């Protein structure tokens, strides 16, 4: 098995752990708080998580000045429930109609401009993701444990992706952590 495949498999293990954590929190919120009033579902929370994770990993991937094929493949194959490019297309009313292949062909400067727009574009989504889950997390016997678990899973996924192209830089890992903090941290209260 190649080193890249080993890293992807480890990231997938952490992704599945994050999915399990989100499923538990979202199901508890759906059953005990929402009770069918708004149509909240674990599937929606998982799709939102995928968009947040893809944004963080994309930010990480371009931190070293390139978005190479292995990084693109890592980001697109890791997640199962949401697609950032579909979200961007919908959020812009089709004005920004781009897919992952198109994205990989953009120059780094253009990618960085897009990345700078994403926290604002995703702010409402991040709040919709974090608010219900943080409410349940705070009610558990160990408040904050679920958030810490998600952050740990994302950190492990980020570390695996940092090494996928053979060279990890501090900038790559910092870029992912900074984006996750911007997207989830300020909304998980």
Q: Which tokens belong to 129?
A: 């993701």
Q: Which tokens belong to 83?
A: 């697609």
Question: What DSSP line would sit under 121-157, residue for residue?
Answer: HHHHHHHHHHHHHHHHHHHSSSTTHHHHHHHHHHHHH
Q: Percent of the chain, pLDDT > 90?
A: 51
Backbone angles phi, psi at 39, to 5 degrees: 80, 15
Confidence band, pLDDT 50/70/90 cuts, at residue 189: low
Domain assignment of residue 93, given as a range = 3-185
The distance between the two most distant Cα atoms of the chain, rounded to a whole number of Å, is: 48
What is d(CA 161, CA 163) in angstroms, rounded to the nearest whole number? 5
| Tens of pLDDT, residues 93-150 | 999 899 999 988 888 889 889 888 888 888 899 989 999 999 999 998 898 899 889 9
Q: What is the pLDDT of residue 169?
A: 74
Count of domains in the chain? Answer: 1
Query: What burial class does residue 48 get, using C-beta atoms within 10 Å of its C-beta: 0-12 exposed, 13-18 middle, 19+ buried?
Result: buried
Query: Is the whole model's pTM more than 0.85, yes or no?
Result: yes
Question: Please, which residues have CB within 8 angstroms of residue 125's CB and are 6 or more apart in sequence?
Answer: 48, 51, 52, 87
Q: Which tokens belong to 172?
A: 């790559």
CA dihedral 42→45→47→50, nearest 10 degrees, is -130
């Amino acid at each position: 098995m190649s080193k890249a495949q080993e890293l992807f498999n480890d990231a997938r293990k952490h992704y599945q752990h994050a999915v399990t954590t989100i499923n538990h929190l979202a199901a508890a919120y759906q059953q005990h708080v929402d009770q069918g009033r708004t149509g909240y579902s674990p599937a929606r929370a998982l799709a939102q998580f995928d968009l947040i994770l893809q944004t963080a990993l994309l930010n990480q991937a371009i931190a070293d000045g390139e978005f190479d094929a292995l990084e693109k493949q890592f980001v697109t194959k890791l997640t199962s429930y949401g697609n950032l490019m579909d979200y961007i297309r919908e959020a812009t009313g089709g004005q920004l109609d781009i897919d992952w292949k198109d994205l990989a062909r953009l120059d780094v400067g253009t990618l960085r401009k897009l990345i700078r727009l994403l926290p604002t574009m995703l702010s409402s989504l991040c709040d919709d993701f974090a608010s219900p889950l943080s409410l349940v997390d705070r009610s558990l016997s160990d408040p904050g444990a679920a958030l810490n678990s998600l952050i740990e899973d994302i950190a492990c996924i980020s570390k695996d992706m940092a090494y996928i192209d053979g060279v990890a830089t501090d900038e790559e890992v910092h870029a992912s952590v900074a984006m996750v903090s911007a997207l989830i941290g300020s909304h998980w209260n």
